[in-house]
Amino acid sequence: MPTSGLSGQQITGIAYDNIMQKHMCKCENPTIHRESGGRLQSIWARLREVGILRYCEKIKTRKATTQELQTVHSEKYVSSYLDKMQVTAKTDHDELEVDVTDVSTNDLNLIRLPCGGLGIDSETVWDPCHTPKAARIAVGCVVDLATKVARGELRNGMAIVRPPGHHAGRDTAMGSCYFNSIAITASILKQKLNLRKVLIFDWDIHHGNGTQNTFYEDPNVLTISIHRYDKGLFFPGTGAITEVGNGSGTGFNVNVAWDSGSDVKMGDPEYLAAFRCVVLPIAKMFSPDIILVSAGFNAVAGQAHENFNYRVSPACFANMTRKLIESINSKIVLALEGGHDLPAICDASESCMRALLLSDPMPAVSSEERNKEPNQAAVKVLEKVIQIQQEHWPQIKRMASYTKYSQNEAERHEKEEVETISALAALSMGVTSEFENVLIHLLHLDFKNYKEN
């Protein structure tokens, strides 16, 4: 329940339904299938334990409608995932039919997994009794929460949902994703609420290929992603820095694609540099009506899987969240995507919720991390991103000089720049000579060019 005395516009919303926990493989082995119901259960228990839920409004949940799903996915694809159906599982040697009561005429081709369960692939498991409902509720949660925020009924919010969605394409389920919750929500906000500009910020370690493809030619949805790429060798192999959009959407797709390989681990210094040099300045120029975050936490330090070896702190994600609120737009909604280490995703979810609550104490990035310079692999990527994106967002050219700085050093330089420009402006107001005014103007330009170069 929300805190007594607060109006809706001051309340942080939260969306959750334990029905989403029931989506699981027949083998029920979370060691094999890391995207398990325990993720939601653990996060919800943590938020209740630390008292955060007392300050939030839990929205009523529902299944997304067929019409809503079809704003992004094809009619044929959506009809294949209705709650009641007949599915045909193709194995190496035979076919296994799984009948559900009140079956429809739709067929869904699955494979028999090594564990004995069914799935689209080894990561995208299928339970005919629970998967369709869980996937539709996940979408409904994100849509309704974002709608309330966009209308001003809630200040901001977070959707604790699964299965995740950012890999799901128009006709494709993959990477544990069936329906693209964030993409569907962005489409509905534009259509039903007439929002002109939506920003989707994806910080999951995997690139949100489904989201990118959905809006690749749309100038009204800016998609920005920070993810591991490794020259296309890291799943899903998309999201190169050269992928900037197409047609009228050119320039409205931004990828910070880390190319470090397994030898270099990205952490707070690298993510803070990407945020201040690319994400924040472009987001400010775009000036969105609302921000939707694909909040995957598999880059958080502590992930046991060998492929998830980044070391970003929960505080870093919280600080990016708070900075977006303070600098861009207070209307922001986070939706859970990936992340499998339970303590790590609980820490990150709690930290981000504290950032959304605004008045709540928020964990700070450690002074040690703030004083570290980003590694050379990250600097190289950021310089390339700026070089490519400055054609579409010319103002970020000046950020190239900040890519090598630690967070503390960058803030110090920014402060000095503001103070110098303010002093020049004050001096200009105090002189009367036309010659002196021209001189001050030239000094101002000279300083600006110096900073840009």
Which residues are catalytic, by number?
A: 167
DSSP string of 346-386, one letter each residue: HHHHHHHHHHHHSSS--PPPPHHHHTSPPPHHHHHHHHHHH
Beta carbons of 444 and 424 less than 8 angstroms apart: yes
**What are the helix (H) ranges across 152-264?**
181-192, 209-214
DSSP string of 149-160, one letter each residue: HHHTSSSEEEE-
Q: What are the CA-CA distances from residue 90 to residues 97, 119, 129, 155 (Å)?
A: 9, 10, 18, 47
Other residues' Cβ atoms within 10 Å of the Cβ of residue 104? 13
Residues near 389 by beta carbon (within 8 Å), at least 6 away in sequence? 244, 251, 254, 278, 282, 396
Burial degree of 443 (CB within 10 A; 0-12, 13-18, 19+): middle
DSSP string of 99-139, one letter each residue: E-TT--S-EEEEEE-TTS-EESSSSSEE-TTTHHHHHHHHH
Specify the residue for token string 């994106």. Answer: 389
DSSP letter (8 states) at residue 72:
T
